A = this chain, B = another copy of it.
Amino acid sequence: VSALELGPGREFDAIRALVAQWGPLAVGVGGDCAVLDVPGRLVVSTDTSVEGVHFRRDWLTAAEVGYRATTAALSDLAAAAASPLGVLVAMTVPRDWQRDLSALAVGIGDAVRRAGTVIVGGDTTRGPVLSLTVTVLGSAERPLTRAGARPGDHVYVTGEFGGPAAAVRALAAGQQPSAPVLSHFVRPVARLAEAKWLVEHGAVAAIDISDGLTGDLAHVAAASGVQITIDINAVPAVGASGDVTVDDVAAGGEEYELAVVAPAGLDRAAFQAAFGIPLTDIGSVSAMGQQGSGVIVTNDGRHVDPSRSWDHFSE
């Protein structure tokens, strides 16, 4: 069923326009359901981005909004080291965004193309505020979860941190972020290929950093029933200048880098050569402490409060 094989109607005209924009990236869109073959186990996640909550329109182009929302969802597949099979895009589009629908579609398509996958379905409706709910479908023989960390393992992160938080702080103050900081904010990458390399080299647990490094590592600690200790100064920060604070690194959200748990000794040079970004050993896993599982953060040996993290549900 091609999307051109829909009956008449304005909603269907919008779907036809989106599908024309996406070209060969859209596969089978327009029926009641998408139908896919799943080699291995199905890995699935859904992620919502709402204007005014997850992004501000004056900080991003429509294409960047679409790119980031789609990348945020694809990043969950990277956390599972899954291979993407397709995405579904549910869009709520207010009247004042309708002229930007094509630019949104360009950004969505860009993220989908970069991940080597396709758009298999979705929904389009009107509403008072732009909202994108992207559902990602992937497959893996043995998906990574948050639950595999064992005492003695080490904790690694991909890439550099603090860019998105520093960019948001600058933009909120009416300042222009530095180029590397801005780039990490508007153009995050779902670490899909990196995740496969990491699981092939021994990674046993992973999470993608969407709510802040220490907060997300707390989920790994809780799910694995372990204590995690990291040195926040070991985590690479974006850029050379003082744009990025330790707090940006420890608690900034929407990084979409991976934190993985693996036996010590991952070949960081090989990783850097393969992907052009660093892989950094930032800490280790120990048995559950007296206070239960959790994250201990040190800064040059001094303990710091790891409790701050982005929390979209708080006011």
Q: Is A45 a contact partner of B53 (Cβ separation < 8 A)?
A: no
Tell me, in angstroms, the Cα distance from A235 to B290 when the chains sit together.
68
- Copies of this chain per assembly: 2
CA distance A13 to B313 in the complex (A): 9
The one of B38, B133, B211 in contact with A48, judged by C-beta atoms closer than 8 angstroms, is B133
Inter-chain contact A79/B33, CB cutoff 8 Å: yes
Contact partner of A38 (CB less than 8 A), chosen from B42, B120, B129, B211, is B42
Contact flag A222-B5 (CB < 8 Å), given A45-B34, A124-B313, A208-B32:
yes
Q: Is A202 an interface residue (CB 8 A)?
A: no
> Given known contacts A34-B43, A36-B44, A46-B88, what 12 new A-B pairs fall within 8 Å (CB)?
A1-B223, A7-B219, A8-B218, A11-B312, A11-B313, A31-B145, A32-B208, A33-B82, A38-B41, A47-B90, A53-B126, A131-B131
* 8 Å CB contact of A211 from B9, B42, B45, B85: B9
Q: How many Å lie between the Cα of A33 and that of B53 in the bound state? A: 22
A222 to B221, CA, bound (A): 53
Contact call A88/B135, Cβ cutoff below 8 A: yes
Min distance, Cβ A197 to any Cβ of chain B, angstroms: 18
Residues of B within 8 Å of A34, CB to CB, are 43-45
